[in-house]
């Protein structure tokens, strides 16, 4: 196990379960970090800097598993553990984005399988976040006028139409448009529209209001 090994967090108020799962995960080559409560996990765990998943007990005092899931707001994949086969709770957890739901006592092979699936999802999520951060950085380099032009370009407006909309010369629009394409690292209009769509879907504002 090295610093580049996948990271798996375990949160369970049962010390015996924490120690057993920690050993299992470490033997399987993961970096396992165990916590006895949701509060200690939130206070001490670094779960955003790299791909990771969470193995989480459903029933815990103070902050239970579903409450922690809401707090995390889908920031990492969660594998729920429960001592009870509560179908209603399982459905609620899965609707809220849980990766998997296992009933205790957990089969070791089954747990490792679902952890690997959760980590695959975590790697995908991490890449998506990195991509969005890159788009946000590119948008930050645009001037207010360039943002105005970009917002109109991605709707399919022609240069002469944008010039009319903004009350400036068409040749000036061409200059702004070229700068937008360069700063956004877009090779084509389709690329620029794709970047704008990703920004909008993630709630990243680029239009000037």
CA distance 41 to 76: 13
Indicate the SS3 state at residue 112: helix
Question: Rounded to a whole number, what is the largest CA-CA distance in the chain?
Answer: 72
The mean pLDDT value for 65-82 works out to 89
Question: How much of the chain, in percent, has pLDDT values that exceed 70?
Answer: 95
Query: Three-class SS string for 69-94?
Result: HHHHCCCCCEEEEECCCCHHHHHHHH
CA distance 172 to 191: 22
Q: Provide the pLDDT for residue 66.
A: 84
CATH hierarchy code of domain 141-201? 1.10.10.10
The mean pLDDT value for 155-173 works out to 96
- Is 81's pLDDT higher than 70? yes
- Is 1's pLDDT higher than 60? no
The domain ranges of the chain are 7-132, 141-201
pLDDT band at 86 (very low <50, low <70, confident <90, very high): low
Q: Provide the pLDDT for residue 93.
A: 74
Indicate the SS3 state at residue 68: helix
Strand partners, 102: 81
Nearest alpha carbon to residue 192 among 204, 200, 184, 183: 184
List, as one string, the DSSP characters of 135-165.
HHHHHHTS-HHHHHHHHHHTTT--HHHHHHH
Exposure string for 166-204, b = 16+ CB within 10 A, e = fewer: eeeeeeebeebbebbbebbebeeeeebeebbeebeeeee
CA distance 197 to 70: 26
Q: pTM for the whole thing? A: 0.75
Q: Provide the pLDDT for residue 48.
A: 83
Chain segment 11-68, per-residue pLDDT in tens:
999 999 999 999 999 999 999 999 999 999 999 998 888 999 999 998 888 888 888 9
- Angle formed at CA 17 by CA 94 and CA 46, multiple of 5 degrees: 65
pLDDT band at 209 (very low <50, low <70, confident <90, very high): low
Q: Provide the pLDDT for residue 85.
A: 60
The mean pLDDT value for 127-151 works out to 95
Q: Which fold has domain 7-132?
A: Rossmann fold (3.40.50)
Q: Tokens 């680029």 belong to which residue? A: 206
């Amino acid at each position: 196990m090295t610093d580049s090994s996948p990271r798996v967090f375990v949160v369970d108020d049962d010390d015996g379960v924490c120690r057993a799962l920690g050993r299992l995960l470490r033997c399987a080559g993961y970096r396992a970090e165990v916590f006895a409560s949701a509060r200690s996990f939130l206070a001490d765990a670094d779960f955003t800097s790299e791909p990771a998943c969470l193995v989480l007990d459903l029933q815990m005092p103070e902050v239970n598993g579903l409450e922690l899931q809401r707090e995390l707001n889908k920031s990492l994949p969660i594998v729920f553990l429960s001592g009870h086969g509560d179908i209603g709770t399982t459905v609620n957890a899965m609707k809220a984005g849980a990766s998997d739901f296992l009933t205790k006592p957990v089969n070791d092979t089954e747990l490792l399988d679902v952890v690997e699936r959760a980590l695959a999802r975590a790697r995908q999520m991490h890449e998506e976040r990195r991509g969005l951060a890159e788009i946000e950085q590119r948008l930050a380099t645009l001037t207010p006028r360039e943002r105005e032009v970009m917002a109109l370009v991605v709707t399919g407006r022609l240069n002469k139409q944008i010039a009319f909309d903004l009350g400036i010369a068409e040749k000036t629009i061409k200059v702004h448009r070229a700068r937008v394409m360069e700063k956004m690292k877009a090779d084509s209009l389709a690329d620029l529209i794709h970047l704008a769509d990703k920004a909008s879907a993630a709630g990243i504002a680029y239009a000037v209001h």
